[in-house]
Structure 1
């Protein structure tokens, strides 16, 4: 991982690493639940970049523009009420396929 040297940083807070290696970022404006990619350089400079993580099984939607368009078209059809009720499909569920929440 590389840190771009051309970017300028502004000091927004000073904090101390606790006994468990944690650093509080609240004073720096970090929001609870937000995820960050952490990069470091040989001098020990850490760069935190906000990221959004998606499940691997959803990655195809983000990498296949045709699939993404088909999904958007289906959502638009549903919003216009252009749907057909095909009944209950729960009998086809495999308990191993259910999401873990």
Structure 2
């Protein structure tokens, strides 16, 4: 660890970590030990619906390949998929 300075908790027990490079909306896992030391581990949250891509290497590779082909302009227009849309689905 590299010392970053000292902070003081405010009246609501909040600490400002701007000196340590923390920015608005950064997320951290918080862990403590018996000595009262606090460890902050940076996190990135993803929607549950996207978890499949991170857990499935084959799907992740196929997605990467598709994105690369799209970026290279290697597209094939398959027309409209409107006929397959479920317009009554209120879960989305």
Using the size of structure 1 for normalisation, the TM-score is 0.73
1:20-57 residue CA offsets vs partner (Å, 9 max, x unmatched):
22111112221222111111101110011111111122
**3-state SS in 1 of match to 2:91:** helix
Displacement of 1:96 in angstroms is 2.1
Higher relative contact order (CA 8 A, sep 6+): 1
Corresponding residue of 1:54: 46
1:52-83 residue CA offsets vs partner (Å, 9 max, x unmatched):
11112211101111001111122223222413
CA distance in 2, matches of 1:18, 1:53: 27
What are the ranges of 5 or more consecutive residues in structure 2 without an aligned counterpart?
A: none
Give the number of aligned pairs.
89
- Say whether 1:83 aligns with 2:67: no
Moved beyond 4 Å, runs of 4+: none
Q: Is the 8 A contact 1:61 1:67 kept in 2?
A: yes
What are the ranges of 5 or more consecutive residues in structure 1 without an aligned counterpart?
A: 1-8
Q: Is the 8 A contact 1:77 1:83 kept in 2?
A: no
Displacement of 1:12 in angstroms is 0.7
Using the size of structure 2 for normalisation, the TM-score is 0.79
**2:22 corresponds to which of 3, 24, 30:** 30
